[in-house]
């Protein structure tokens, strides 16, 4: 059920991403340029308030196990997954930045939001499928497979020269996003002690955010320096590094539980 929950959460994220892009453009076009930003800010405030008021699903507070303290980032699996997802996050941001630049260069800047929506749509579809399946392959292999797909599907982006081919290539490159998140969080849940689970998940999501920031910067520089098409080289490089990281960490990620990992994170309390 946990895998299904992760899949539902990831698919919901992508659905909002798809709807949000179209809604933002529609509001800005129909009302005034800032309308999309205003509505998104109001929705963010409403959603955050609703989340803070939600108490029924809040887990109980756990004390440090066996009188020990430590940090989840000291766990090798958390380090591997967080580092890999920094570069996965970079591929997301690079695709968005380069798509905007490329559609403008192709004379269809208004198509950027639709192409980015298609990017999230591919992830949404696969998220639903993965959540409905009971995959038997070990999680670390599923993660390696998903990131392999991400890395390989960045290559066609280098050769697109029309908006339709860009949309198709972006759709394909987005299909492995949800499976990557689903398996990554599943591995975190398996390797991190219950008392550190929230911190472990936070490290991974923070890594994604860092990667998106770095990816946006790198892609913007590539676009300005070498032209719109070359921004996708950042995606290619980031995908390759993410894949190499996960492949190198397969043995460490293959541990069946967090018993051996706990020794890396836990220090006796004084």
Domains and CATH numbers, the chain: 2-37+73-262 (1.20.1250.20)
Report the predicted TM-score, pTM, of the whole model to 2 decimal places: 0.81
Q: Is 157 left (phi over 0), alpha (psi -120 to 50) or beta?
A: alpha
Q: What is the pLDDT of residues 173-223, one digit of tens each?
A: 988 888 898 899 889 988 998 888 889 989 999 999 899 999 999 999 999
**C-beta of residue 217 within 8 angstroms of C-beta of residue 163:** no
pLDDT at residue 18 in the model: 62
């Amino acid at each position: 059920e946990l895998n299904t929950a992760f899949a539902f959460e990831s698919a919901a994220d992508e659905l909002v991403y798809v709807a949000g892009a179209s809604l933002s453009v529609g509001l800005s076009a129909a009302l005034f340029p800032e309308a999309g930003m205003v509505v998104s800010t109001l929705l963010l405030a409403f959603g955050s308030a609703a989340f803070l008021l939600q108490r029924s699903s809040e887990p109980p507070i756990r004390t440090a196990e066996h009188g020990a303290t430590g940090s989840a980032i000291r766990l090798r699996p958390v380090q591997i997954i967080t580092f890999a997802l920094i570069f996965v996050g970079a591929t997301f941001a690079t695709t968005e930045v380069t798509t905007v630049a490329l559609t403008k260069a192709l004379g269809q800047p208004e198509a950027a939001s639709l192409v980015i929506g298609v990017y999230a749509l591919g992830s949404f579809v696969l998220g639903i499928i993965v959540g409905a399946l009971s995959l038997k392959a070990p999680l670390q292999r599923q993660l390696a497979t998903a990131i392999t797909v991400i890395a390989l599907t960045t290559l066609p982006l280098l050769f697109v020269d029309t908006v339709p081919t860009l949309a198709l290539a972006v759709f394909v490159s987005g299909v492995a996003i949800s499976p990557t998140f689903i398996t990554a969080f599943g591995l975190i849940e398996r390797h991190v002690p219950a008392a550190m689970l929230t911190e472990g998940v936070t490290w991974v999501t923070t890594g994604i955010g860092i990667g998106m920031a770095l990816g946006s910067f790198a892609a913007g520089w590539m676009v300005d320096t070498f032209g719109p098409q070359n921004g996708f080289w950042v995606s290619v490089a980031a995908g390759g590094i993410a894949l190499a990281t996960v492949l190198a960490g397969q043995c460490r990620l293959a541990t069946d539980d967090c018993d051996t990992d706990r020794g890396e994170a836990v220090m006796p309390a004084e």
